[in-house]
Amino acid sequence: MFITERIDNTIKKIKGQAANALTVLNLSFGSAAIIFLLNDNLVTSFILILLAALCDRFDGLVARKLNIVTDFGKQLDSLCDLVSFGIAPAFLLYAAVLHQFGVPGVIFTIIFVVTGALRLARFNLSESSAVFTGLPITAAGSLLAISSLLVTKWPPQVFMYLILILALLMISNFKMKKI
């Protein structure tokens, strides 16, 4: 009886941390993306951001499926998302093209990160519903990362507009149905 009780408790503890493990993996990929950026490996950085997006997609699904949604998990997810979908993609686009614009490129990069943080803070304070208010940072950051693949195809000025538009969409009040 004692052994089975102990095994059951251990399984519950592991199950309870499954979503948080995926969230930390998201953060790990986002952090690694920044490290690869520092070493001028933009393609690897892009791939790591996409892997972070996959982890982010599944952490919420796992939490809801296993009925382990917690305030701690919500806060942890937002902190990790700021790194993986705010800082990493903004710095990726900066390294790929925005650096050409000097100070304005720096300012637009910072605007994206700041609006991402504001969007996440607003989300954390909101009641759970079937809609997002504003563009989720995961979507904005993923679009920014994907756009970095187009720097040789589009004029550099396009990316200044793109980063600003995505930043504004994150803090806008439009409603978007959750999927």
CATH 3.40.640.10 for domain 2-177? no
Share of the chain above pLDDT 70, in %: 91
pLDDT tens digits, residue range 104-133? 999 999 999 999 999 999 988 887 777 888
pLDDT tens digits, residue range 65-93? 888 888 888 899 999 999 999 999 999 99
Q: What string of H, E and C letters represents the secondary structure of 21-89?
A: HHHHHHHHHHHHHHHHHHCCCHHHHHHHHHHHHHHHHHHHHHHHHCCCCCHHHHHHHHHHHHHHHHHHH
124: CB partners within 8 A, 6+ apart = 74, 75, 78
pLDDT tens digits, residue range 42-60? 999 999 999 999 999 998 8
- Say what the pTM is: 0.90
pLDDT tens digits, residue range 3-43? 666 666 666 666 668 889 999 999 999 999 999 999 999 99
